[in-house]
Amino acid sequence: MKKLDWYILKKFLGTFFFAIVLFTIIAIVIDLSEKTDNFVKSGLTFMQIVTGYYYGFIPYIIALLFPLFVYISVIFFTSKMANNTEIIPILASGTSYNRWLRPYFIGGGFLGLILWASNQYVIPKANLIRSSFEARYVDRDNSYEQLTANTNTNIYFKVDSFTYAGIMNYDTSYKHGGTFFMHHIEHNKLTVNTRAESIEWDTAIHKWRMTSVITRTMHPLNETVKMEQQQIAAFSFKPQDLGKDKFTKDKLTTKELKRFIKMQEERGSEGINDLKVELQRRNATPVTVFLLTIIGAIVAGRKVRGGSGAHLAYGFMTAAAFIITDRFSTIFSTKGNLPPVIAAWIPNAIFVFVALYLHKKAPK
């Protein structure tokens, strides 16, 4: 790391963190003005609102626009350097173009790593805090969760490759169901049949509690019947796996999301491409941050007549093109047959070629 690297990195990170903090404050003020009535009606104290909502809202809003603000920050400070005729002397001194881009590689990689680590655990937990608060106090009457939370439904699902289960009148709010059955089938023959009058999730021990349980085990020539008034079972499925929440993918950590996808596949569920796209996007977005950093440096590193305004306009057009590409690929995957891996990585693949083309055409 030379003085040139530290000089550019300080400008890069300083501009980015200043911009993201400033925008976060503006977003909080706007959000507060929109939800003031809801906060007053909730009867919560200031600290309860901060810990119960804004602890989730702030990471959510930062992650939402993280790549865009990295891109804008790079364009802004690099364009200013170009207009102040700082880049030309650097290149004229014998420094190669790729050597000049080194601090951008380091800064983009560092910020991309931060976003990647946050996507795995921090952002999902923040989304859980934010969405739970909004469902309870903001969208109390029309949120998707509230419309479905107290609806008694009959649920049938596949537990694993050989086991099928069903719960009658399952209430997702109280995590309680009526008649429960589970069939274990091997070689097209029923081997174990379990039935219970009711099933309920015990929050204290994090296991299922069943009442009036009858377990029939089939043998070649006879069967064994076991009757229990109450039974505690550690099934592979949990209450969140049975709920109908279209925002589940945003609230699960990467480890939980992988387990949830595997379970849905074992059940034979349809329409799980949106879950797989979300899983892949958590790895693809940090790469996007790196690519946008390099593209921003190449675009803004050339002194033009329009100055920073022209660079920012070009930057917004590029960002818009990226967002449109990302949305189209996602729709083709969730509504069509495009593989989720391809859908999540198509924008990055396209912009790799954009970065290479701009690098080739850049004056060196």
pLDDT digits (tens, 9 = 90+) for 154-188: 887 788 778 888 898 888 777 888 999 999 998 88
Model pTM? 0.76
Spatial distance between the Cα atoms of 317 and 153, rounded to a whole number of angstroms = 47
- pLDDT band, residue 269 (cuts 50/70/90): low
Cβ-Cβ contacts under 8 Å for 141 (sequence gap 6 or more): none
pLDDT of 245 strictly over 70: no
Average pLDDT over residues 248-265: 84
pLDDT of 321 strictly over 90: no
Region class of 200: left (phi > 0), else alpha (psi between -120 and 50), else beta:
beta
pLDDT of residue 144: 44
Spatial distance between the Cα atoms of 195 and 175, rounded to a whole number of angstroms = 18
- Residue 124 main-chain phi, psi, to 5 deg: -60, -40
pLDDT digits (tens, 9 = 90+) for 23-49: 999 999 999 998 888 888 888 898 999
Spatial distance between the Cα atoms of 168 and 151, rounded to a whole number of angstroms = 12
Tell me the two tokens of residue 310.
Answer: 């022209």
Spatial distance between the Cα atoms of 331 and 274, rounded to a whole number of angstroms = 9
- 288: β partners: none
| Mean pLDDT, rounded, of the chain | 85
Average pLDDT over residues 299-320: 74
- 211: β partners: 198, 230
Spatial distance between the Cα atoms of 283 and 281, rounded to a whole number of angstroms = 5
Which one is predicted more confidently, 131 or 192? 192
Spatial distance between the Cα atoms of 268 and 157, rounded to a whole number of angstroms = 8
- Residue 141 main-chain phi, psi, to 5 deg: -95, -20
